[in-house]
Structure formats: C-alpha cells, structure tokens
Amino acid sequence: MAEIESGEAQPNAEPQDQVEPQTQQEIKKTSKKKSDTFRMADESAAECLFDRLRQHQQRAPDATEVARAITARINSRLTSHDKHIRQTSLEKLWNKHSGALQMLVSILETSRDSATCTYITSILRETLCLKPGKGKRLSANNLMRQQCAEDFIAMKGTQAIVRKLLGILHDKRERHASSELLQQDLLWILAPLGSRDPKFAMKVRMLGCVRTMHLILKGHFTDNKIIFPLLVIMKQLAKNSVTTSVLIRDGVISTYERIMVSLGFIPTARLRLCLDAIDYFSKNKVCCMQIVKTGLSTVLLRVFDRWDRYEGRMRLKICAHILQTLQHLCNIKAGRRALCTKKHVQTLHRFCSHCPDEPEFDGLLARVCSVITLCLKHQALPVAAASPAMFNLNPILKGTNTLWPCQDEEDNVNSDSKTVNSDADDDGPEPDLDSIEEFPDFDLDESETKSETIPEDTEKVISKSGDSIQSAIWINPNERDIEDLKKYFIFFKEFGSYNKQVRLVKSRSNSRGSILEDFLISQANIKNMTSSLNLSLSTVLGANECDNLFGTSSSYQYYKVHESASSTSCSSLKIHKDISKYSPFSSVYCTISSKVKSVIPFVKVAYPDMTGGQSQNIPEPLNQMERTACRNKLLSCVDRAINPEAYMYEVIYDLDQLCSGSSDPNTPKSLSCESFYLCNNDEQEVAKMNTFSTRLSFESRFESGNLRKAIQVGPREYELILMPDVNSNKRHQWFYFEVRNMQQGRPYIFNIVNCEKSDSQFNFGMKPVMYSVKEAISGRQGWVRAGTDICYYRNSYHYAHQRNLNKCYLTVTFNIEFPHNNDVCYLAYHFPYTYSMMMARIWHWSLQMPAGAYLRAETLCYSLNNNEIPLVTISADDTPSNPIVEREIIFLTSRVHPGESNASWVMDGTLGYLLGDTPAAAALRAKYVFKIVPMLNVEGVINGCHRCGLTNEDLNRRWCKPSPVLHPSIYHTKGLIEYLVRVWKKPPLVYCDYHGHSRKKNVFFYGCAGAESWCSNDRMVQDEPVKYLMLPALMHRISAAFALGSCSFRVEKERESTARVTVWRHLRVTRSYTMEASFCGFDKGPFKGFHLNTQHLQNVGGDFCEALTSLNDAATNVDIQITKDLNGEIGVDSEPGSAPDSVLKTDSDEDFD
C-alpha cells in the first residue's frame, strides 16, 4: 500500500512544481504589458506637449504664461528621475522632422521672459551637450547629440544663441540670479556648437561678440561653473586668423597668463585647453612677442619641466602643445633670445636625457631637439655664400631682348611651417607651402598671370567684365605665328619630301591650299638664301639667337632636308662623330663624356656610368627605422649644437678651393678643348697594395656628381654639404660622389646637413645607393641599396639667404659599412643616369636595329652651354599597306628635372622596348610614330643639379611661355607638338612626360580631367573619361609596379604652366600625362615592401609600350574591364584614407609634376 501511495503521489507532484514557472512567465508578460502601456502613454503625453508648443507658436506667440508653462513641463521631463520619460523627450527633440528645436529657438529669440528663456536654454543644454561616462545607451545618445548639433547649426542656431548672449550682457535692467544661470547655459550650449560649426569664429565675429567672449573670460576665469565652456569657445576662436588678431589686440595673452597661474600645474582638461589655444595663438608673430613680454613663455617651460609628474595621454598632449608653441616662438628673434637662457636650455635638455624609451615619446623628443637647435645661436653653413657653380649668361643674352634673371621663385619655396615630427600632411592635403608644391609655380600668381599669360587687349576686357583668369586661359596666350612653326617640318622627314607633306596636309584639311605651300613660295622670294631646302632658325630668331641655340653654322647641315628617302637607322648627332662601331661601351662612354661641356671642369669618368650603371637585380627590402639609433643621432645633433668645441672639424674635401685655381695635378688645364680625354683608373687603384688611412677621401668632379664639402667631425663621422643648382644658392637634394680609403667592417657615419625638404622618404624606408668597384671586379657588378640607422631631421644650420634666417636646414644621416678595404665606392641619392650614358645608349641602339625598324636621332637644338639636345624618332619603315603618314603619333619627354634619374631609367626601358627585336615591338612600331626627347634638361643633368638648369628656373614651369634663348629645349619641344597640332593637323594621340616622385611610393599617372579642374570653364565642357582613363587602366592590368589608386586627374591652378596641363589645355591633347616613379619603392602590389631598382624602372617603360599597343579610341570591348579596374580593384590597391570609389580624387602632393 505504501508503494502504491507513493506511486500515486508522484503524478500529482509534477503539476505543483510547474505552477511557479508559469506564474513567473505570466508576471513578466504582465509587467511587460504594463511597461509598454506606460511607454505608449508617455509617448502620447510627450507628443501632446509638443503639439501644444506648436499650437502656441502658431496662434498665440505672445502668451508668456503659456510658453512658460509648456517649456517648464518639457524641462521637468528632461530632468525627471525616470529614464524612460527622459529618453522619450530627448528622442522627440532629436527628431529633425518634429521641428521642436526650431520652435524653441524661435521662442528664445522673441521672448523677454527670463524664466521661459531659462527653461529653453536648460532644454537645449540637455539636448546638445555631450554627457561623460560609459555604456551603450550613453554612447548612442551622445551620437544623437552630435547629429542634433549639426542640425541646430544648419537652422542658424549658433547665431541665435550668440545674439541671446549679447542681449543678456547688454541688458541695462538689474542683474539677478536667473540671468547668471541663463548666461551659464548659453555658454555651455555654445561650446559643442563651436566644435561642430566650421564657421563658428566667423559668425561670432560678424555678430561683434569676439571681444565680448574675451571680456567674459577675464571676469570669470576663476568661476568653475563656466570656465570650461569658455576655454572651449576661445580655442575655436583661436583657430581663425582674423579673430586671433582681434583677441591679441584685446590683450588675450595677458588673460591666459593669469589663467595659467591660477590653474597651477595640475594636469586637467582646463590646462590642456589653455595650452591648445595658446598654441593656435602663437602662430601669429605679434602674439609671440606678447608671449615673451608677458612672461608666459617662462610659465610654459615651468609646466613642461613637470612633464614626468603627468600620466597617460594627457602628458603627451600637454607636452606637444607646449613644444609647438615654443617652436613658433623660435620664429622670432625675441623668442629665440628668451628661450636661449641656460635655465631654459637645461630644462629642455633634461627632457632629452630622461625621455622614456617608448614610441609615443619619439615625436616629443624630435620637437625638443628642434626647439633646442632653433633657439641656439644659428650656425651658418661653413661654405661661401656664392657657389662655385656659376654660369655667365650675358654672352648668350647679348643682342637679344631677353631679360635675366627672370622672376625667381620665392625664398619660401622650401619653407617649412610644419613641425619636425609631422608627416601626416605629406600624404594628404597639406596646409603649408611645402604641401602645396615642392617648388610652386610663382609665375601664376595673380599679379604675374596678367602680364605673362593674358594679352594686353584681352586683359582689359577681362578686368572690365569682372571675370577671372579662368576665361583668359582658354585663349592660348603664347600661340606662335604659323610662319614661325613651319620650320619644324625638317624634323618630320619620315613623312616624306616637302611636296609630299604639302599634298598630305592639303588633302587632309580639304582646303583651298596648304600653309606649307604658301610658306615654300614665300621662302623662294627671300634674298641671300643659298637654297630653299636649307632652312635654319636664323630666319625666325635672327643670327645671334640662332648661334646661341644651334651653335656655329657648321651644325646647320643637320637641318637640311633631302628629297631622297631616309635611311632606316640614322644618327646625325655631332657627339657621335668619329666613334667606331666596334668600340666597347666603356670606350664610347669616355669619348662622349670628354666632349661634354660642364660648368665645373671634370677630372674623371665615374666607374658605374662607364660600365652601364645598372643595379643588381635582387630584391632589396625597405629600411626599417631603428628608433634607438635615430634617437641617438638626434641627441648627438643637439649635443653638437650645444658643445661644438667637443668635436673635430677638419675639412677633407672642398670643391670651392679646388675650383678657385689651386694647384691640383688631377685638374686639366682646359676642358673646353675636345682633345682632353676623360677616363677612369679605379680598377688600377684598387689593385694597388693596401694602404690604411685615418680619413676618407672624396671626389665629385665627374658628370652628375654633387658634393661641395666634406668635414670630418669624428673618427668615422663626416658632415657633407651638397652643391646647390647652378646660379643658385638653394635646391639641395641630389648627391653623387666617390669615397676612397675606407676600412672594411667599420661603420662610417655620413650626415648630409643642407637638405631643404620638410620630410623625406629616408624616414619611410628609402636607402641611398652604393656601387663598389671591387665588387664589380669580382663579378657582382651593379648598384645596391645600402645604409643603416637612416633618419631625417632638422639641424642648426640656417639658410644662407637673408630672408630665411629663421629657417634651418635638415640632415639626412646614414651609416655605411663598406665591403672591402681600400675600395673605391660611389654613393648616390638614386641610380644615376648621365647625359653621356643617354648618348652612348642611343649610339648603341643605332647599331643594332631590327629589320624593318626606323630610327632617326638628330639634334633638336643646343643647350645654353652648347651641348646637343637629341630628338629620337622611332617607327616602322614606310610601306604601301601601312603608310607612315597615316600612323598616330606618340610624343614622349623625360628628365626635365635633373635630379629625377629614375625618369631616365624608365625612358631607357621605353626606348629599349621600342627598338627590340620582338613581334610586340614590331607591331607597336608599325602602329605609331614615336617622337621622343629623352632629356629636356641636359645642363642640369651634366652639372649635378636637383631641380633647375643654368638659368636657375624650373623648366617645367616655363611651358606656358618658354623663351627661345633661355629655355631652348622647352621652346622647341613645344614647337614640335604645336606643329603637329596646327600645321600637320594631327595632334599626338598621347603625350607623356616622365618624372620621379620623392614623397610617394610606386609608379602612377597624373592626368587631366576637365571635371576635376580648378577652372569652371573646364568643368562646363563635357568630358570623355574613358579616353584619359583607358591608359592608366591598361597600365594597372599590365604593370606590377603601377598603382592605379595613386593616380590623380586633378587640374590645379599652380600647375597651369607645366607640360602636362599646357599640352592638354592649349594644344588640346586629351591624353596628356605625367608618369611618376618613386625614388623609394613599393607599398602595394607584388613588390610591396621592397625598393625599386633599375630593372623595375626599365620594365615600367616597357609596360607603358605594351599599354600603348592596346590603346584604341574605339576599344569598346575593354570598357567593362576598365570600369572594373577603376571602381573595383582600385579599392584594394588604394592607400588607407584614399577614396575607393573613384580615381578622380584630389592629390595635392603632386610636388614633382
């Protein structure tokens, strides 16, 4: 019975156990229903409340009591303890479509009831001001507050709050507690609005409230309730240069000095805001004077001296703001004098000594070192102000109307308003002069544009109509006379005889006659003409100018045009005369180099150039910067500036002295005579018995060499000073020199101390290149990347020219361990490619022509120092089935900037591909006629310049108005293109100018898109993007080194006189490009993380030719793939931060175009 009872009891027990869970679920459901009901009722109440507010504004806006009651009710809901009520009310206010904020602002502006205004400002404060704390709900609410602030700004809420604040302060009635509370709320509302409103400072200034804000700050800087929003507002005003000037005149620096003293040294947000505002104020030089006079600089250093008592990110921010302010103070003499006291220098040096060895402190250390070097007594470079590389232009200018010097580029070309540690602006839009352009085009400023780019009659029309320069640039301001252009048909012999050219142009133009025909008739009537077929530029320029451009009359034979067909391979270059076709390359190179005319006499031929100049074809990883090594070098630089007497300064190499006429057995008596033969005996030197020396030996008197002075400062440490460009005292970057007497396995430190760029790829992985003669003899011939402990920083040497006394040079430093004792090594910025190498390569190609190829090398013109500038024509032989006159023309140029030797290596690859014995090359020659000027700035290349030639002018800023006397290569190259456009009536299908880029990696294009132009007239013309995007897209598919994401097609005003924009705008060549190759390496693609070498660059030149093979205006088959490349793959290849959806993006780092 017991078992049965127990068995019967079990079924009854189970339902009893299930009662509790069911009851709990029912309770939860009931409570949820109640909360939902309550929430719905609350939402209804809130909606009803805002409806009443809307009705009040529409029907009875003057009913003060009603407005007070409604706003009081809304305010009570926002301050309720019930979070559901608060959240519901906030969501109604945040809802843009509810119009609640607009109604509240309207009531606030019209109401004179202090209670109503206080309620409204309290509501706005809760709605707009961010709340501190953590949590998902709080974060979401703060995001909504930020969005609401932007909507509030859009409805002109900032102006309403500022006007209300002014009204309270100017109210003559008796002040009471409610007005103080109202003022406090208004300031707290303005603080987030100022941070979100980009035009906040302008709005405050237009309402006349700038001095009012300062007045409030002076009266309440000890008031803990409003000091924080006041400091936020003042920081926003300090960002604007106009409001900064107003506040400085109003004595804001004295106010901040008192605030700093009252705040003490406690690291609070208030202290950080103060320092941030002072940092912005100190960008004004008048403010810097006041900081010194008020003693605020001393207060800042006292705060900085306690840096080790601060913690976390607050310490980094406080120190960074103080150091930036001190850097600004160093821009004025009084500021440097105030900081250059023993106590202050010790404070800064103490930070260097005790700075933690952590990455986040590296930037602070660099700033401290910069401040120390800037505030100490500036050292002048230990060289004469005048460079030995001076070229007298007066004989060339004699008898012409040309003036020189032209308007030189301003001295602030290399000015650097960025901090030493800043690199962020180098990859994106840059606010300073360096970021706009490496060497800006000062010919296009407002005053000079009118005189240089607009005819006088056009200028008057433009000024009267009120139009800008935009409407004038559509008229080619320097369009040459047709009679002047006709002479260029002598450079198009491949199109046949004169009569044939006349018939072709006539048939193509389908006109009554030919301009060529008219020209020939007019030439027949010219007296004293030996032959109508013997045309020279003297008929256009005059005898004197022609002699300057083409040399003596003996060179005119190269411009005679013969009726007979041209040979398939012909070099009429004078420098190739009397060279045996059986001579080895080294002998040919030495022969050509001996004929080259230079400004500074050469004493030898560089061994790497004589042997071909290639790099070793091995992968070379980018340099990984060693933080510890860079810190040590920074501290060493500071120590050298503080204690110069502790270092040895012994001059090892001085080019100034060598050029001054001192006796040097290696210097030839006269290098103008072609009988002097330059050679190289490095192999004999390294074979001699080893002799050990305590110091290195240097040399740079060879083609493209650049080293002015070498000073030994330590047992194995040398300071090197580079030569400026000819007739200049600036533009130092390119270096190329020889080193001897080294010892194996010992690191030598080289400090190049007169660099000018604000930053360099040396800080981002680039290494210099080295060539060892002993390695070459052993069979490991070629340039290699070399160097360790590489870094780039500012030093204490100041600019030589007077206007930049407060600007200091920068140092690139690296350690080199030479592979052999008593070797002869060469160090360079990049793989050199000399003028003689180019001429030797052209000679070499002319001897190895494939069957059916057409090559003609001729002298386009002569440089200012009477060196030949070659023009190369490449195509296939003329055949009846493929007439040469029907082929499209590709026009290529390179090396307008002599320091960009990588551009010549790319051009070498292009020429090698075109003249190769391959089916692809034969097809390309049969499709196009190539006109190539492989080296535009031969004088700059010969003399080791970085940017300019003999006239101290950037030739790529002279395309708009080139001078036939001062810029012959640009003048005649542009003339050839203009001849094709206006006379031959067949513009080039593609124009591309090869360049090098010192701030970006990879290979990429700059093109021209009207939709991306600065000029509104360009944007009104319908674009054909597929035309100018097709070639970059093809390169993206073909070349592993090409980065489509780095391409830019923006047309900027300061680029108007470059080759790319001039050919695109004035000569109407749609596909006008600049191809940029990095000096450094790759950060994307299959070669990511590795350096560029000469093989990569030559391959890029060949890849460009392959892309031209696929180029076709009617190539609809590839349109889909192009779209995929531009809109799909570019997103993968783009750098972080670049737009993945469009290749037509702004790229203001186009510093080498």
Confidence of residue 675 (pLDDT cuts 50, 70, 90): low
Confidence of residue 825 (pLDDT cuts 50, 70, 90): very high
Distance (Å, whole) CA 307 – CA 867: 61
Closest CA to 896 of 841, 953, 832: 953
Closest CA to 30 of 22, 42, 41: 22
Mean pLDDT over 187-210 rounds to 89
Q: What is the DSSP letter of 614?
A: P
Residue 160 has pLDDT above 60, yes or no: yes
Closest CA to 995 of 1006, 1008, 1009, 979: 1006
Residue 699 has pLDDT above 90, yes or no: yes
Helix, strand or coil for residue 752? strand
Residue 898 has pLDDT above 90, yes or no: yes
Let me know: does 1098 contact 905? Beta carbons within 8 Å.
yes
- Backbone torsions φ then ψ of 1125, nearest 5 degrees: -60, -45
State the virtual CA torsion across 149, 150, 154, 155 in degrees, nearest 10: -20
Q: Outline where 646-802 has alpha helix (H).
A: 655-659, 682-686, 773-777
Q: What is the token pair recorded at 167? A: 């009204």
Q: What is the DSSP letter of 1048?
A: B
Let me know: does 907 contact 1075? Beta carbons within 8 Å.
no
Q: Outline where 875-1010 has alpha helix (H).
A: 901-914, 919-927, 938-942, 968-982
Helix (H) or strand (E) holding 301: helix 296-304
pLDDT in tens, 443-460: 333 333 333 333 333 333
pLDDT in tens, 948-975: 989 989 999 999 899 999 999 999 999 9
Distance (Å, whole) CA 1002 – CA 1040: 10
Predicted pLDDT of residue 384: 87
Residue 107 has pLDDT above 50, yes or no: yes
Distance (Å, whole) CA 419 – CA 365: 12
Confidence of residue 703 (pLDDT cuts 50, 70, 90): very high
Distance (Å, whole) CA 80 – CA 907: 75
Distance (Å, whole) CA 1102 – CA 1040: 12
Predicted pLDDT of residue 176: 62
pLDDT in tens, 472-492: 444 455 678 888 888 888 898
223, β-bridge pairs: none
Let me know: does 989 contact 1111? Beta carbons within 8 Å.
yes
- Determine the straight-line distance between the first and last CA of the chain, rounded to whole angstroms: 107
Confidence of residue 595 (pLDDT cuts 50, 70, 90): very high
Q: Which of 313-317, 617-621, 680-684, 1133-1137 has the lowest mean pLDDT?
A: 1133-1137
Confidence of residue 1107 (pLDDT cuts 50, 70, 90): very high
Confidence of residue 887 (pLDDT cuts 50, 70, 90): very high
Distance (Å, whole) CA 623 – CA 561: 54
User: Mean of the per-residue pLDDT values for the chain?
Assistant: 78
Residue 922 has pLDDT above 90, yes or no: yes
Q: What is the DSSP letter of 404?
A: S
Confidence of residue 669 (pLDDT cuts 50, 70, 90): very low
Instruction: State the Rg of the chain over Cα.
Output: 37
Specify whether 479 is catalytic. no
Distance (Å, whole) CA 890 – CA 916: 18
Predicted pLDDT of residue 712: 93
Q: What is the DSSP letter of 378?
A: P
Mean pLDDT over 1074-1097 rounds to 93
Predicted pLDDT of residue 263: 84
Helix, strand or coil for residue 1071? coil
- Map tokens 């030439």 to a residue: 523
Mean pLDDT over 885-913 rounds to 95
Sign of the dihedral defined by the CA atoms of residues 13, 15, 19, 21, in that order: positive
**Overall pTM surpassing 0.85 (yes/no):** no
| 405 upstream amide cis, omega within 30 of 0 | yes
Let me know: does 1149 contact 427? Beta carbons within 8 Å.
yes
Let me know: does 962 contact 748? Beta carbons within 8 Å.
no
Q: Which of 5-14, 510-519, 620-629 has the lowest mean pLDDT?
A: 5-14
Predicted pLDDT of residue 156: 87
Q: What is the token pair recorded at 448? A: 């000079």
Q: What percent of the chain has pLDDT over 70?
A: 75
Q: Which of 550-564, 712-726, 1015-1029 has the lowest mean pLDDT?
A: 550-564
pLDDT in tens, 369-384: 888 877 776 678 888 8
Residue 615 has pLDDT above 60, yes or no: yes
Mean pLDDT over 711-721 rounds to 92
Let me know: does 239 contact 201? Beta carbons within 8 Å.
yes
656, β-bridge pairs: none
Predicted pLDDT of residue 1034: 93
State the virtual CA torsion across 22, 24, 25, 26 in degrees, nearest 10: 90
Q: Which of 142-151, 730-739, 879-888 has the lowest mean pLDDT?
A: 142-151
Q: Which residues neighbour 1017 within 8 Å (Cβ) at sequence distance 6 or greater?
A: 470, 471, 473, 474
Mean pLDDT over 316-329 rounds to 88
Q: In what order do the strands lie in the sheet with 709-714?
A: 379-380, 788-798, 808-817, 747-755, 717-721, 709-714, 650-654
Q: What percent of the chain has pLDDT over 90?
A: 32
Predicted pLDDT of residue 383: 87
pLDDT in tens, 833-867: 999 999 999 999 999 889 989 999 999 999 999 99
Residue 217 has pLDDT above 70, yes or no: yes
Q: Which residues neighbour 1113 within 8 Å (Cβ) at sequence distance 6 or greater?
A: 1027
Between 144 and 53, the more confident residue is 144
Confidence of residue 649 (pLDDT cuts 50, 70, 90): confident
DSSP characters for 663-708?
Answer: --TTS-S-SSSTT------HHHHHTSPP---SS-EEE--STT-B--
pLDDT in tens, 220-243: 888 888 899 999 999 999 998 899
Predicted pLDDT of residue 146: 84
Mean pLDDT over 582-596 rounds to 92
Let me know: does 329 contact 288? Beta carbons within 8 Å.
yes
Residue of 1076, 1106, 1135, 1150 marked catalytic: 1076
Predicted pLDDT of residue 550: 38
Cβ neighbourhood burial of 154 (10 Å; 0-12, 13-18, 19+): exposed
Predicted pLDDT of residue 28: 54
pLDDT in tens, 969-979: 999 999 999 99
Mean pLDDT over 1147-1153 rounds to 41
